[in-house]
Structure 1
Amino acid sequence: MALKKSDLYSSLWAGADELRGGMDASQYKDYVLTLLFVKYVSDKAKADPYADIEVPEGGSFDDLVELKGQPDIGERVNVAIRRLADANDLQGVINNADFDDPDKLGKGKELVDRLTKLIGIFQDLDFTGSRAEGDDLLGDAYEYLMRHFASESGKSKGQFYTPAEVSRVMAALIGVKSDTPKSATVYDPTCGSGSLLLKVADASPHGLTIYGQEKDNATRALAVMNMVLHGNATADIRQGDTITSPQFLRGNELQTFDYLVANPPFSVKSWNNGLENEYGRFDGYGRPPEKNGDYAFLLHMIKSLKSIGKGAVILPHGVLFRGNAEATIRKELIKRGYIKGIIGLPANLFYGTGIPACIIVLDKENAVGRTGIFMVDASKGFTKDGNKNRLRPRDMHQIIDTFTKQLDVPRYSRMVPLSEIADPKNDYNLNIPRFIDSSQPEDIQDLHAHLKGGIPNRDLDALQPYWDAFPALRSTLFKPLREGYSELRVDKADIQATITDSDEYAAFVSNTNAIVGRWWNSHGALLQKITRTTRPADLIAELGDSLLEAFREQPLIDEYGVYEQLMSYWHDVLHDDVALIMGEGWDGAAKPRAARILGYDKNKKPKHEVAHMTFGTRANAKRWVMDLIPPELIVARYLADVQTPLDALDAEVEAAGQAIEEYVEEYAVEEGLLFDATDDDGKVTNKTATDRLKAAKAEGADSDEIQALAQVVGLFKAETAAKKVAKDARVELDQQTLKQYAQLTTADIQKLVIDEKWGGRVIAGVQAERAALIQTLVQRLNVLGSRYEQTVGDLDGEVEALTAKVAAHLAAMGVAD
């Protein structure tokens, strides 16, 4: 069976948990990622005799499997991995983790059991089909683990990974094109685990020639493994301090590259310790400050770019405005025209720091004659992800679209002329808020409206996008009160109904439904052709870009919000579905399968994954999982006539339960007729009522109590009978549904999946985006209506009336003023 992305990720993270113990994430990642590497290259060698990595005898994952349960498993795993390293010149890359370390893995049986379980988890995974035509499932899994390890490694140890979302944005900003040749070079002087380099290389269908340097040897090992797992085994990744010991030289000069990306450590204080040769990096700029290395890295990157080179680097915002030596360097960089643009990012995106950062886009090719720097303030666009922030697909696409098209968007982006930057009031300070005011307009309270009533037209004018979409709506909702002010024609409670019942809203709904329907239907043939050779990244790019274009010129609806709906579904469901179809074909992916055993409880009973259908109980139960087509789609299409009476039976069960609840609530109170039938928790159950009825008859209790007990026992019996009938009907429906799967043709499957499962969810997402927009309008109009509903005069009148009322009460009680 094809391996789903979500299944692979959860299995690998379970593997990490097997080793967790008291070990820091920065340590146990080395064990898990090493085994992932060995498993992957072993599987690939089985499938391809010409694979990049040679797997020698005694150095494969199968050899590790043979060691499960052996008392010397740790020592022999080390030997096997060393053989693999020796055969491929990977010493110091894949054999850094000591699998026989009792301090980290435990002693004796604890170590044996831990490694045996861990190898068993990887043993069940099959990577022979990974990276099928661009679907880098395994490489993505590696990044998934890297992200989790970075998140758990703590502030000082999480700097080996640049979030994939930021990496993709940077890859797009430097302008790698579809026709860029494989020979074009890309360089990262502080490459960490290599994820940023790989995202840039992936931007070209042909790939790029990759160079990277990393100071930490263990992190450099992660990068080398990352390159192999992503099909870039020839990447040149070297170890050393980039500033004091750059590894890519031509004679006594720095080697230069076509493209450059970097996420260097922020504000390093010891950057120049041991610096002997500056390699001309600071010539013409001046030396960066002794206690801050940000500009040392930036100038190294400038020097490492070819004369037509382009790059992007992540740095803290301080580089944009700090003074003294940095101000001098910044001024010279601006004058030379090397800075093409600056993108301000949200805070707390990166694992090594919580401070906000920016992307500085470099372009030597077009430096001469540059007249401005394009700035984007993207600091507001993100979502919370655990204890970090993360760019959403909509945020990424908006940054890329805005920058590549140089769009002037109010409160978001603009081209800032060099003359404005050089103006004495700015003096080459590039702090983004100087040039882009991204703050939200203040919601001003209008004193005249509070005094005299009415809603300020200024507030209504601010809603102009809605009035553009619904030209007659403003006059329907409001009428003039006096110059500059309006009042509601309808009650506040009727605002939403007035909007949604209007002909303009109906036309708006019809239009958006038609747009998304046409867009989806136009891709039906593309989706039907999903096969083993499909490139999922290309598929979702085509869907996403065309959806954006379909809604780009539509009034009111934010095309990036609609895009986010699609991408959210892609990450949650659609990508897994595509991967299944690629691996199994349409027919195979739609077949029900037996639920997998995920593990065993303390009593050695199996724990199964959640099943869609279960027949039987306990050990004899048959559990079925439907990965591609949920049973409810089958029922809705083919068995609605069976579902309808079942719904009626379920309603009878609910009514029977409600009758019990109401009867018990009335008579199970203290000294009530059912009080003696309650348990220790004060509840009446079938057993407590039956037992009390039997005892009451034996005691000759009051006839009213006996009658009440008999009544509630009868209600419990009716509920039990209703439940049995409904359960039998449910089993019958499930059996018919299971049989229906076997009768589906390929065309049936495609229609159910493409039209009803995928299309239904995507269309519902657009509808949700539309509904949210209308709700925002309704809420705003309610706020304005409530704010100015009562004037100061009205409030004064109420105060006077209440004062008079109090005075009258006091007089009636004989209390004088």
Structure 2
Amino acid sequence: MTSSTESGLTQGVRAVALKKSDLYSSLWKSCDELRGGMDASQYKDYILTILFVKFVSDKAKIDPNSLIDVPAGGSFDDMIALKGDKEIGDKVNKIIAKLAEANDLQKVIDLADFNDEEKLGSGKDMQDRLSSLITIFQDLDFRGSRAEGDDLLGDAYEYLMRHFATESGKSKGQFYTPAEVSRTVAKLIGVDSKTQRSATVYDPTCGSGSLLLKVSAEAPNGLTIYGQENDVATWALSKMNMILHGNEIADIRKGNTIASPQFVNGNNLDTFDFIVANPPFSNKTWTNGLENEFGRFEFGRPPEKNGDYAFLLHVLKSMKSTGKAAVILPHGVLFRGNAEASIRKQLLKRGFIKGIIGLPANLFYGTTIPACIIVLDKENAQSRTGVFMIDASKGFLKDGNKNRLRSQDMHKIVDVFTKQQEVERYSRMVPLAEISNEANEFTLNISRYIDSSEPEDIQDLYAHLHGGIPNRDIDALSPSWDAFPSLRQHLFTSKDQAGYSELTVDISEVRQAILDSPEFKMFSDDVRRQVSDWYAAHRHALKSIDSNTNPNDLIGIIGDDLLERFKKTPLLDEYDVYEQLMTYWHSVMHDDVFLIMNEGWESAAKPRKTIEDKDRKITETPDIVIGSGRNSSKYKTDLIPPSLVVGRYFDADRTSIESLTSIAERVATQIEEYVEEHGAEDGLLSEAMEDGKISKALATSRLKDAKRDNSDPEEIKALEHLVKLYNGEAGAKKLAKDAQAKLDIAALARYGTLTEQDIKSLVLDQKWEQAISTAIIREVTKLTHHLVARIKQLGVRYDETVGDLENELEQLNERVSQHLAEMGVK
């Protein structure tokens, strides 16, 4: 293409702007490639320090009232000026020292030594590595990162922390509580839209501060934050994390919480409204340095070699008289004996334990063992007569080498706990009388009180002997029969034996019989209508997305409404439906909303040139390519995929290309079949075969030789036909390629003519609504598969009786005897 043509096509193409997910992944990839042999737990200090300096420098440029002062010679711009400098390591240290001194952040942001030759290399290696590291962050602009309710920088920090925790291994992962667990804990203790900023929240083992921040985020204006962390490097991470999330005044102190609690008033611990904690599991050295117990062990002293109850009792003592708390601990605290049993008994008798939630195994970075959340509540403790238990151990998604809670798992835990709903095999209110009886003796092992196992699939001996499907197995599918009342009668008929039925259709026809059922069709249509009505109710809010939108509030409102609408829908689990929305939100829609908020509808919809940045190790896969080879132009269409533009404005062209492609595929199949027919040894094409294959070039060359040598006319005819087929395939492919090239040019040009109304229609109706609706309808398809699979299983199980098998065996024996007789064997 000529430059003038390209200029006309790309007029208004927007500048480079990464989506959130692209930003995070590029940050991680860039950082990971630069760390070389350094352990991730060490390298994080360098990355997060640079990230911190970049953020506060950007913020100071637009916020004259920023609580962080960026002095001359102490900014990220000063670091940029050092790229390629032979003394870059020492000079970066000095820049950070100036920033630290100006804000009383010594020993917080200056822990990483940027002049450490052992970690960063010496001479040119250090110079190149640090220059590249600065380049990674140079083009990122965090000045507008804190769009209302959407914390780009804080989320980027959390993304890096999660990856560093994953890479650091068991011994270094304790500084980070998975965000999904943090969000769940935050909601369990009752922080909500009515909670005032003056309410206090405390974490005695705060790590990097992620748990505190998630709790604070549940209140509209945040909370007053307090925390303590023993590890100096992790304490520094927490201090930086608070500043990055706009909590500059959070009070985070250093020290061992058990031996040297920092929040005290004389010999008494300070108390707080809300407390959350994810202490180190089963700490064997918790008594080290312990002198003043601060009255924490009034209900018993924890065992010397296990500190789980030491932290739990510290939390309890730090709660106000109406305080709420949630502590993450290993399952052993629920059932271990001796000293721990005695403490547990006292806490239960006094009603301090409001609830227990059993979590899936392998959620946390420091361990693979399952943990639980113990919810403490001092308010009305004396009148508490039971403990609400949830077995959430089966609700998770496998994610790499860890498990994680899905959106539906988090929402279900919080809903069920908040409303104290009893759900079969999942939750129940366990009376204290049951917990304290002789059989249980104050053991809180969840499996004693909730049987979460699936009911046993019992084999029916009578049915195996005489045939028929037991009615009890059919009755177990009652939710399906409640939804489709006449379907059972259509599929089954009663046998002579009482309590047994048989299929009225062949096993292979069960699925189609269900799909053809008028009631099933009505059910599917009703689900589609519900999704359509739900989406229509929120379309205006989605249409109105702008820079003032709060994404968390937006998805919270529409997600909760979707849950509520599907609660009464038979068969479908409303949380499965909700998960479909949230999966799309996290994978696509949140990025779209982020782009629209930051760039506006029209700008976000414009194609942009792909990023090919060698320094930052970013190479994007283009959505549209104009031209070929080195002169090609490559574009990304972040908000509106080309398929949507083509589908609306160039459907006839698309159909034509699909037709040409189909022709090329059919001819390719004909070539394959023709070669298979005539390419065997002594076949008409055998002379042209090479390594069992025959290309167009080989066929053309052999045809030329055959004609020159006056070879077998049939061979010449076969070769001519094959070459003709190859030419036909090539012609169809070229026509399709040329048509696609023209379509790409037309589609790219069309982006420049789209109005804001066009863009909103494409995104709202053709992209978001269709994707969400399709995903939810898949849940209906799953129902069909499960019902069909169970009916087929029952049908096959009892299809052949023992008598049938005996008859078949007898016939086989007769045939064997007959064959032996024919062979003369008696």
Same fold (TM over 0.5): yes
From the superposition, tell whether residues 673 and 114 of structure 1 become closer, same or farther in structure 2 (CA, over 3 Å).
farther
Alignment RMSD (CA, Å): 1.5
Give 1:707 deviation, angstroms: 3.7
Distance in 2 (alpha carbons) for counterparts of 1:214 and 1:676: 80
- The 5 A counterparts of 1:353-368 are 353-368=367-382
Per-residue deviation, 1:608:
4.3
Q: Does 1:228 align with 2:243?
A: yes
Aligned residue in 2 for 1:206: 221
In structure 1, distance between residues paired with 2:618 and 2:569: 50
- Of 626, 629, 636, 1:618 maps to 629
- Determine the C-alpha separation between the residues in 2 that align with 1:710 and 1:79: 78
1-structure distance, mates of 2:618, 2:183: 39
Count how many residue pairs are aligned between Structure 1 and Structure 2. Answer: 810
Q: Which has the higher contact order (CA 8 A, sep 6+)?
A: 2
Please name the residue that 2:272 is paired with: 257
Aligned to 1:710: 720
Q: Shift in Å at residue 244 of structure 1?
A: 0.4
Q: Letter of the aligned partner of 1:660 in structure 2?
A: I
2:399 paired with 1:409: no
TM-score, with length taken from structure 1: 0.97
Aligned to 1:491: 506
Alignment counterpart, residue 170 of structure 2, candidates 143, 155, 165:
155
Query: Which amino acid counterpart does residue 669 of structure 2 have in structure 1?
Result: Q
Residue pair 2:135, 2:615 contacting (<8 A) in 1 also: no
| Equivalent of 1:502 in 506, 517, 537 | 517
Unaligned runs of 5+ in 1: none
Structure 1 residue 801, shift from structure 2 partner: 1.2
The structure-2 alpha-carbon separation of the partners of 1:244 and 1:495, relative to structure 1 and needing over 3 Å to count, comes to: same
* Distance across 1 between alignment mates of 2:714 and 2:474: 67
**1:632 maps to amino acid:** S
Contact 1:562-1:769 at 8 Å conserved across structures: yes
Instruction: Mark the runs of 5 or more structure 2 residues left unpaired by the alignment.
Output: 1-14
Change in CA separation of 1:349 and 1:701 when aligned onto 2, cut-off 3 Å:
same
Query: Are the equivalent residues in 2 in contact too, given 1:15–1:32 (CA < 8 A)?
Result: no
Q: Choose the corresponding residue for 1:54, options 69, 78, 83.
A: 69
Q: Percent identity?
A: 62
Instruction: Report the counterpart of residue 21 of structure 1 in structure 2.
Output: 36
Q: CA deviation at 1:511?
A: 0.9
Q: Which amino acid aligns with 2:47?
A: V
Assess if the C-alpha contact under 8 Å between 1:99 and 1:105 holds in 2.
yes
User: Which residue is 1:743 aligned to?
Assistant: 753
Instruction: Choose from 648, 654, 658 the match for 1:647.
Output: 658
Match of 1:165 in 2: 180
Q: Does 1:541 align with 2:556?
A: yes
Residue 26 of structure 2 contacts residue 618 of structure 2 at CA under 8 Å; is this kept in 1?
A: no
Structure-1 residue corresponding to 2:8: none
Please say if residues 19 and 105 of structure 1, whose CA atoms lie closer than 8 Å, have aligned partners that are also in contact: no
Structure-to-structure mapping, 1:268-307, within 5 angstroms: 268-283=283-298, 285-307=299-321
AA matched with 2:640:
I
Letter in 2 for 1:581: I
For 2:671 and 2:613, the matched residues in 1 are separated by: 39
1:63-212 maps to which residues of 2 (within 5 A)?
Answer: 63-212=78-227
**Who is 2:10 aligned against?**
none
Contact 2:132 2:615 in 1 (8 A): no
Provide the C-alpha distance between the structure 1 equivalents of 2:463 and 2:48, rounded to a whole number of angstroms.
65
Residue identity matched to 2:683: G
Pick which of 644-653 and 468-477 moved more: 644-653
Contact conserved, 2:352 with 2:378, CA < 8 A, in 1? Answer: yes
Q: Deviations over 1:715-768 (max 9, x none)?
A: 222222221111111112222212222222211111111111000001001100
For 2:360 and 2:183, the matched residues in 1 are separated by 16
- Residue 663 (structure 1) aligns with: 674
1:206-256 deviations in whole A, cap 9, x for unaligned? Answer: 100111111100011111111111111111111111100111111221111
Matches within 5 A, 1:190-589: 190-283=205-298, 285-481=299-495, 482-589=497-604
Tell me, what secondary structure is at the counterpart of 2:722?
helix
Please name the residue that 1:812 is paired with: 822
For 1:199 and 1:592, the matched residues in 2 are separated by 36
Preserved contact between residue 331 and residue 372 of structure 2 (Cα < 8 Å): yes
What SS is found at the alignment partner of 1:611? Answer: coil
Q: Choose which of 781, 789, 796 in structure 2 pairs with 1:771.
A: 781
Match for residue 630 of structure 1 among 641, 644, 665: 641
Contact 1:183–1:209 at 8 Å: present in 2 too? yes
Tell me which amino acid in the other structure corresponds to 1:741: Y
Deviation of 1:561 after TM superposition, in Å, equals 0.4
Among 766, 787, 790, the residue aligned to 2:800: 790
Letter in 2 for 1:558: D
Structure 1 residues 289-309: Cα deviation after superposition (integer angstroms, max 9, x where no partner)? 011100000000000111110
Structure 1 Cα separation of the partners of residues 498 and 618 of structure 2: 72
1:8 to 2:23 alignment:
yes
Query: Does the 8 A contact of 1:18 with 1:118 survive in 2?
Result: no
- Equivalents in 2 of 1:607, 1:272: separation in Å? 50
Q: Deviations over 1:93-144 (max 9, x none)?
A: 1111111212111222122111111211111211111111110121111111
C-alpha distance in 2, partners of 1:468/1:542? 31
Q: SS where residue 268 of structure 1 aligns? A: coil
Mapped to 2, the partners of 1:697 and 1:809 lie a distance apart of 59
Contact kept, 8 Å, 1:19 with 1:28, in 2: the verdict is no
Give the 3-state SS of the residue equivalent to 1:566 in structure 2. Answer: helix
One-letter identity of the residue aligned with 2:719: L
Contact 2:60 2:69 in 1 (8 A): yes
Q: What is the alpha-carbon distance in structure 2 between the residues aligned to residue 11 and residue 119 of structure 1? A: 14
Match of 1:780 in 2: 790
Conserved 8 A contact 2:389-2:429: yes
Residue by residue over 1:25-58, the C-alpha shift from the partner in whole angstroms, topping out at 9 and shown as x without a partner, is: 1111111111111111111111212222111111
